Amino acid sequence: IAGITQAPTSQILAAGRRMTLRCTQDMRHNAMYWYRQDLGLGLRLIHYSNTAGTTGKGEVPDGYSVSRANTDDFPLTLASAVPSQTSVYFCASSNNRNTDTQYFGPGTRLTVL
């Protein structure tokens, strides 16, 4: 059992380019989340999904979009990357949304130049 996988591990991207960060879980968890982590700011929620077919906005959703076509996959897209989106991105999942343990993926380190 892999848990949660993220791809790519790291990426350097030119400003203005489109980028999709991939996240896949094999635990059949209903809820999935995307966070960004910046030095000194902790983890901030970007978007979440309660279940396949639904998504919601977190604390810092601007400049990002997500989709949840099935239970396992929750891709995060930057339509036109900007340098302020340089960060480490973590995907997480939980069995349900009702105060449940969140399991984190290994992260994607993204640098936008």
Partner 1 sequence: QQPVQSPQAVILREGEDAVINCSSSKALYSVHWYRQKHGEAPVFLMILLKGGEQKGHEKISASFNEKKQQSSLYLTASQLSYSGTYFCGTEIYGGSQGNLIFGKGTKLSVKP
**Candidate segments 17-25, 60-68, 72-80, 105-113, binder of partner 1 by CB under 8 A:** 105-113
Choose which of 11, 22, 44, 65 interacts with partner 1 (CB under 8 A). 44
Beta pairing partners, 32: 49, 93
**Is 25 an interacting residue with respect to partner 1 (CB under 8 A)?**
no
The per-residue DSSP string of 18-81 comes to: -EEEEEEESS--SEEEEEEEETTTEEEEEEEESSTT--EE-SS-TTEEE--SSSSB--EEESS-
> Is-contact 22 47, C-beta < 8 A?
no
Nearest CB to partner 1, comparing residues 85 and 89:
89
**Is 100 an interacting residue with respect to partner 1 (CB under 8 A)?**
yes
Nearest CB to partner 1, comparing residues 10 and 80:
10
**Is 104 an interacting residue with respect to partner 1 (CB under 8 A)?**
yes
**Candidate segments 17-25, 54-62, 66-74, 75-83, binder of partner 1 by CB under 8 A:** 54-62
40 phi and psi angles, rounded to 5 deg? 85, -5
